[in-house]
């Protein structure tokens, strides 16, 4: 018969909503295999070891840009799956120097069972998938950052209890009679109790349910935002973006094309005013204004993004929800978010960083280990 197609992954736009959900469930189950309480469980002998689908396999981490989280997540996750990760930075191998990308990828793919690639221009990773005999997974390109957004969604599900309230910072005027507010309080509490106790099914806690959220993104149209745009709307969430009107800070046409193909544009608004973006938001997200490779534009960018810093004051003036939470992929510069928000109780940035490991582990297991994105929800 015909050979099985190689399961590459360049953006979450390549996956269906149900495939994304399966990856998230698998990530959550894998995360539970490493939780200390399981070590004392009588079932520990069955639970401590996740799938060893990378046993006797090597994964090439071909990174032409720096990385802390993505690299650590990939190396530690490969280890847990029984495999070995080889970090191949641009100064270590003949990557684009002395040898073209096509030849390098063919050689790496001849000795390794998966390639996790961080590249500059997105076309580089497109060229890699054309010539690689093994799956290539995008570890960040100029256009997309799929593994980041998987970690973000997992983090939101884990913190679902923070979104029980739908109250805005400016309370709505209507419906304030004592009876109706008590009734709605009781109804709200009953709903919260019902939702906060998912019935355990099998050995693992199921991924907590998440109600539809309003997600604000304030800042540059980066690779992180682009994967948000093709993903959140398909999972029932809406996105309100604010960025300066100069087209270089707006969604590139090749990304917007994917957004529209997936029908996601209906759940997206885009404005110049950051206050409009944060209005009624449950979650406020930003990213650096100076992505890797844009260092020469720093002065111009700091000027153009003046007024876009995420602060308590901005979200209060814009009327974000009372309990809005903050997210950032990291690394963070203080320009785009102040210390009060970044290190404050609203911030989910460190749980978000931790979750890079479990989501990358799930993808490595399914793509590199099993060549199967339809895989089961539980590690085996």
Enzyme catalytic residues: 329
Q: State the binding partner of 223 from ligand CP, ligand NVA, none, CB within 5 to 8 A by kind.
A: ligand NVA
Q: Which residues bind ligand CP (CB under 6 A)?
A: 67-71, 140, 148, 329-331
Nearest to 307 by CA among 248, 256, 245, 222: 245
What are the beta bridge partners of residue 214?
238
- The residues in 114-133 that bind ligand NVA, with binding defined as CB under 6 A, are none
Query: Would you tell me how many other CB atoms lie within 10 Å of the CB of residue 235?
Result: 17
68 binds, among ligand CP, ligand NVA, none (CB under 5 to 8 A by kind): ligand CP
Binding flag, residue 329, ligand NVA (CB under 6 A):
yes
| Cβ at position 222, least distance to ligand NVA in Å | 4
Going by C-beta distance under 8 Å and a sequence separation of 6 or more, which residues neighbour residue 267? 232, 233, 237, 238, 239
CA distance 198 to 27: 17
Q: Where do we find the tokens 């080889």?
A: 86
Q: Return the number of the residue (47 or 224) whose C-beta is nearest ligand CP.
A: 224
> Among ligand NVA, ligand CP, none, what binds residue 355 when CB lies within 5 to 8 Å by partner kind?
none
HEC-encoded secondary structure of 77-103: HHHHCCCEEEEEECCCCCCCCCCCHHH
In terms of Cα–Cα distance, which of 52, 141, 46, 35 is closest to 364? 52
What the block records as the tokens of 30 is 């894998």
CA distance 326 to 344: 9
With CB under 5 to 8 Å by kind, the binding choice for 287 among ligand CP, ligand NVA, none is: ligand NVA
Coil, helix or strand at residue 368: helix
* Complex with ligand CP: residue 124 or 377, whichever CB lies closer: 124
The site for ligand NVA, by CB under 6 A, has a size of: 9
Residue 156: CB minimum distance to ligand CP, A? 16
State how far the Cα of 69 lies from the Cα of 152, in Å rounded to an integer: 13
Q: How far is the CB of 278 from ligand CP (least distance, A)?
A: 22
- Closest distance to ligand CP from the beta carbon of 104 (Å): 21
SS3 of residue 136 by DSSP? strand
Q: How far apart are CA 275 and CA 277, in angstroms?
A: 5
DSSP SS3 for 118:
strand
Q: Looking at beta carbons only, is 53 or 67 nearer to ligand CP?
A: 67
User: Residue 222 touches which of ligand CP, ligand NVA, none (CB < 5 to 8 A by kind)?
Assistant: ligand NVA
Candidates 132, 223, 286, 309; binder of ligand NVA (CB under 6 A) is 223
Q: Name the minimum Å distance from CB 278 to ligand NVA.
A: 20
* 8, interface contact from ligand CP, ligand NVA, none, CB < 5-8 Å by kind: none
Residues 282-301 that bind ligand NVA (CB under 6 A): 287-288, 291-292
Q: How far is the CB of 328 from ligand CP (least distance, A)?
A: 9
Distance from C-alpha of 8 to C-alpha of 229, rounded to nearest angstrom: 20
Q: CB–CB of 328/219 below 8 Å?
A: no
**Binding to ligand NVA, residues 136-175 (CB under 6 A):** 140
Residues making contact with ligand NVA (CB under 6 A): 140, 222-224, 287-288, 291-292, 329
């Amino acid at each position: 018969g015909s050979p099985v197609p190689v399961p590459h992954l360049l953006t979450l736009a390549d996956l269906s909503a149900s495939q994304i959900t399966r990856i998230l469930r698998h990530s959550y189950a894998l995360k539970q295999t490493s939780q200390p309480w399981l070590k004392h469980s009588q079932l520990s002998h069955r639970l401590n070891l996740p799938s060893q689908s990378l046993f006797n396999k090597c994964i090439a981490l071909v990174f032409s840009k720096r990385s802390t989280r993505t690299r650590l997540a990939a190396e530690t996750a490969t280890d847990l799956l029984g495999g070995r990760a080889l970090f191949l930075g641009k100064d270590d191998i003949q990557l684009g120097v002395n040898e073209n990308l096509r030849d390098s990828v063919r050689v790496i793919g001849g000795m390794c069972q998966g390639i996790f690639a961080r590249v500059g221009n997105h076309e580089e990773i497109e060229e890699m998938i054309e010539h690689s005999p093994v799956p290539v997974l995008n570890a960040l390109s100029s256009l997309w950052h799929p593994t980041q957004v998987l970690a973000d969604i997992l983090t939101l599900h884990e913190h679902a209890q923070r979104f029980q309230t739908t109250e805005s910072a400016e309370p709505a005027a209507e419906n304030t009679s004592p009876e109706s507010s008590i009734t709605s309080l009781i109804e709200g509490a009953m709903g919260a109790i019902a939702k906060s106790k998912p019935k355990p099914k099998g050995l693992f806690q199921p991924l907590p349910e998440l109600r539809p959220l309003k997600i604000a993104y304030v800042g540059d149209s980066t690779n992180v935002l682009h994967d948000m745009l093709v993903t959140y709307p398909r999972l029932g969430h809406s996105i309100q973006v604010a960025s300066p009107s100069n087209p270089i800070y707006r969604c590139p046409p090749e990304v917007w094309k994917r957004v529209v193909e997936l029908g996601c544009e209906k759940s997206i608004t885009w404005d110049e005013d950051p206050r409009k973006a944060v209005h009624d938001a449950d979650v406020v997200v930003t990213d650096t204004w100076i992505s890797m490779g844009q260092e020469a534009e720093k002065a111009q960018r700091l000027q153009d993004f003046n007024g876009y810093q995420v602060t308590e004051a901005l979200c209060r003036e814009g009327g974000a929800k009372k309990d809005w939470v903050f997210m950032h992929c990291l690394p963070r510069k203080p320009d785009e978010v102040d210390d009060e928000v970044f290190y404050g109780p609203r911030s989910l940035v460190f749980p978000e960083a931790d979750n890079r490991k479990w989501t990358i582990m799930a993808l490595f297991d399914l793509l590199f280990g099993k060549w199967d994105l339809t895989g089961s929800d539980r590690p085996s």
